[in-house]
Structure 1
């Protein structure tokens, strides 16, 4: 009786390990760019998501009265769901935006972040930024 319980417990434990997504590479955000209109009521983000397996192009639009400082999403880019949140926590002149880029199919997510200075004037952010994906809890 005890051996069968032990084997059952070991089997359940092993299956939970195998179910956890494992990735062999970081995800890289390619050619990140944010362009806002003159009134700052609409900002269009364009970038690529390189998972190491393929590249997904993404266009993400935030519309608000102060769009460059507004939260945005959700928006779908292929298998990914993208959201954004702006923070001026340390000082509004040192603001930054953190994105969540989630792949529901693989159960993984990254949180790329960019300062307002990096995104200024619609410039492409260089160098590219890479992030290790994390499994959903």
Structure 2
């Protein structure tokens, strides 16, 4: 249950941070300047990207097996491999303007990295 909570908390915290980032960028006028039906599209894109990260993070549940949990390489791969592959596909899909896609990925990876370090420390008995 601990690893499923990590997945859900990563999704919720990263979604809130992404939505706050979109709100700040729209308030400053950097994105969504035109008055059209697509003004709120960045909010949907932020939630959609975080949802794909949520789905790709189910490999964290592999840490329930002792073989994966005890090996640091397998543990890191279970946390970061599929989300990193999704980032590569996102970069290839938006090759002419990659930075907006990357900015939507940063909060999820920061939260995921924090939970990775925390879970690594708790299995070693430090926390």
TM-score, normalised to structure 1's length? 0.27
- Pick 1 or 2: higher relative contact order, CA cutoff 8 A, min separation 6: 2
User: Which has the greater radius of gyration?
Assistant: 1
More helix per residue: 2
